[in-house]
Amino acid sequence: MKKIVPDPPYSDISRDNITTPYFSIHSDLIPPDSLAFASELLRGIHDTTDEFCRAHANAPGQGMLMNVLHSAEMARALVEHALSKLQAVEEGVMA
């Protein structure tokens, strides 16, 4: 016998209705600064997730959190690589 599951409540909130964003990105923000900020945000994700994983070593869902941790590490490595390439181009050194 199938369990009857009600539909979730209707929500009229959509992205189109949001007129004031939570944050905005300045149009004059240069790419190296964008990458530097992204790198710091990813470092924060990494540090927070790492701390939680250490504190809850045997908790359910640990594998998913480790995936988040690994993804943040890889994303930060890519951002750091892009930053180093931009700096090399600015300095006139093609690596």
Query: What pLDDT, in 10s, does the model give residues 43-71?
Result: 999 999 999 989 998 888 888 888 998 99
Looking at per-residue confidence, does 26 or 16 come out higher? 26
84 falls within a domain:
yes
Looking at the structure of the chain, the number of domains it has is 1
Q: pLDDT tier at 15 (50, 70, 90 boundaries)? A: low
Q: What is the pLDDT of residue 72?
A: 92
Q: pLDDT tier at 27 (50, 70, 90 boundaries)? A: confident
4 falls within a domain:
no
75 falls within a domain:
yes
71 falls within a domain:
yes
Q: pLDDT tier at 18 (50, 70, 90 boundaries)? A: low
What's the 3-state SS for 20-89?
CCCCCCCCCCCHHHHHHHHHHHHHHHHHHHHHHHHHCCCCCCHHHHHHHHHHHHHHHHHHHHHHHHHHHH
Which structural domain, as residue segments, surrounds residue 86?
A: 29-90
